[in-house]
Amino acid sequence: MDRTRRLIGFWNWLPAFRVVAETEHLPTASEQLRVSPSALSRSIRLLEDALGEELFERKGRSLVLTEAGSDFLISVRRAMRVLDDGVERMGGGKVRGALRVACPGPFASLYVLPALQVLRTQHPELLPEISSLDAERANAQLLAGVLDLALLDDPVPNPQLVIERLAHIAYGVYCGRSHDLYAKAEPSIEEICEHTFAGPPGGDDHWPVDISRKVGAHLAHLQLGIDFCLTGDYLAVLPDAIAREHVAAGRLRRLPFERFETTSIYAVYREPLGSVTKLDALLPLLRQTTSGQGT
């Protein structure tokens, strides 16, 4: 009973703590919770008094978690996940509601969509939500419970997240049907590098760092790389698994450039707590889909 009384004493402050901890900014947290910053600040102060620990360091308008605050946030997240899973199980074991997945567009079409099609035939009340995020933002949203799963080729390790390799990814240089190199039998590396590439803003499309090339378009999404390549004006570095359909249809050609290292695509998700979730229904189908697609 003493533990119950202690929890009741600060239970109502936990949602406020979690949002403030994940935003580290009172005005942003107050917008999300629709309460005033002063009310939030008071809740945090009362929680700290009840726990006997400082959870934040005040730095201007920002609140930075202390070590004790970071540890407590992990506990609060876990407790809320257990409660959320309990609410889900009240539906009689049905998989329903939002299933939030982050994945680059072409990989979503190749890997996620086939798995979701099977899952939705079994659980028609499921509502998939697909987005595209970089690794840092995906981690933040996974830890906050805003995201259920991320498929990434560059995951950032975190002790609270599981990183599972799903498939090996091989890359190649591709050109569209109207490109000068499409009909050239065996273009050399030098000839390939004379032409203009479309690539991501940071140049991180697995191009070898020791070879110079011309980049004439910076693209935020992999799908745009495919679209630019299809115009015939640009070359692009694309995953072979993504380009395969276009090659078979004669829309793209894979050029003889074999200097890429094979990479992987990973499933990133929160560490399981032992309860059955929507992710438990999706992951086996996703593993099956990626193993069938290969590289």
The token pair at 32 is: 């999300």
Same domain? 80 vs 124? no
Same domain? 159 vs 186? no
Picking from 77-81, 101-105, 113-117, which range would have the lowest pLDDT averaged per residue?
77-81
Report, as an integer, the average pLDDT of 227-247.
Answer: 94
Same domain? 67 vs 24? yes
Same domain? 283 vs 138? yes
The token pair at 205 is: 């499309």
CATH code where residue 239 lies: 3.40.190.10
Is 65 in contact with 73 (CB distance < 8 Å)? Answer: yes
Three-class SS string for the chain? Answer: CHHHHHHHHHHHHHHHHHHHHHHCEHHHHHHHHCCCHHHHHHHHHHHHHHHCCCCEEEECCEEEECHHHHHHHHHHHHHHHHHHHHHHHCCCCCCCEEEEEECCHHHHHHHHHHHHHHHHHHCCCEEEEEECCCHHHHHHHHHHCCCCEEEECCCCCCCCEEEEEEEEECEEEEEECCCCCCCCCCCCHHHHHCCEEEECCCCCCCCCCCCCCEEEEECCCHHHHHHHHHCCCCEEEEEHHHHHHHHHCCCEEECCCCCCCCEEEEEEEECCCCCCCHHHHHHHHHHHHHHHHCC
Using a pLDDT cut of 70, give the percent of the chain over it. 93
Q: How far apart are the first and last CA of the chain?
A: 57
203 pLDDT band, cuts 50/70/90, is low
Same domain? 177 vs 248? yes
Which pLDDT score, from 0 to 100, does residue 293 have?
60
Identify which of 187-196, 199-208, 222-231 has the greatest average pLDDT: 187-196
Same domain? 23 vs 155? no
Does the pLDDT of residue 190 top 90, yes or no?
A: yes
Is 269 in contact with 150 (CB distance < 8 Å)? Answer: yes
Predicted model pTM: 0.74
CATH code where residue 58 lies: 1.10.10.10
By residue range, what is the domain housing residue 251? 171-260
Does the pLDDT of residue 157 top 90, yes or no?
A: yes
Structurally, the chain folds into a number of domains equal to: 3
Report, as an integer, the average pLDDT of 155-177.
Answer: 94
Same domain? 33 vs 112? no
Same domain? 56 vs 181? no
pLDDT in tens, 71-86: 999 888 888 877 877 7
State the helix-helix crossing angle for 37-51 and 14-23, rounded to 10 degrees: 110
State the helix-helix crossing angle for 240-248 and 222-230, rounded to 10 degrees: 30
Same domain? 25 vs 46? yes
Same domain? 97 vs 82? no
Using a pLDDT cut of 90, give the percent of the chain over it. 47
Which has more confidence, 234 or 77?
A: 234
Same domain? 256 vs 137? no
